[in-house]
Amino acid sequence: MSRLLHISASPRGAASESLAIAGTFLDAYRDVHGDVVDHFDLWDGTLPAFGPAGAGAKMAVFAGEDPSGEQAAAWRAARAVFDRFASYDRYLFSVPMWNSGIPYVLKQFIDVISQPGWVFRFDPEKGYTGLLHGKKAAVVCTSAVYGDGRPPAFGRDHQVPFLDGWLRWTGITDIAGIEFRPNLAVADAGAGRRAAHAEARELGKRF
């Protein structure tokens, strides 16, 4: 049976547009597939830091060595997050835009699990090869200022290209996206919101 992990990057709870759209997706998904969904709230305090010890462990592994001491502890903590992630074959990411990009906690998650031998393999001549094959992802992206067709003063999109690039780098190429980008200058964003939820509902049914 397929298992889905919802990875949420918004700290805004019931006020979050990305979480609301993800909720519509998940309701439709459960109607078809049953209750086989887990939720990883990246703000729940369980995500480990990946600082000097983690970076040292990564470079030790690159050098063909086994991390030890604090580095080994950091490597084990990162591995636990990766093992949880890798145990699923379907992913839903709900991601608000922060400063034209993604929330730092999602970047932290990506940096924690993106390790040699887990997410990728590296060859000095051929470069990177993603290792997460046979998986699929849906990505809900929202923003309240940036939007397609708006002038550069309203921001640039470093959100979708980064996430799409990272997923493909890991080997996940079956990717679907939903975007909701209301214009703050327009009082009524209801039509766009309804369209995003309708798209999420249909994607959730067939995902």
Residues forming the annotated binding site for FMN?
A: 10, 16-18
Distances (CA, A) of 97 to 17, 22, 94, 181: 11, 15, 10, 10
Task: Pick out the residues of the known binding site.
Answer: 10, 16-18
Helices 17-33 and 190-206: crossing angle in degrees, nearest 10, is: 30
Tell whether the torsion through CA atoms of 81, 14, 177 and 138 is positive or negative.
positive
Distance of CA 51 to the CA centre of its chain: 20
Give strand pairing partners of 128.
122
Query: Which tokens hold the place of 174?
Result: 């079956």
Query: Which tokens hold the place of 58?
Result: 């990564």
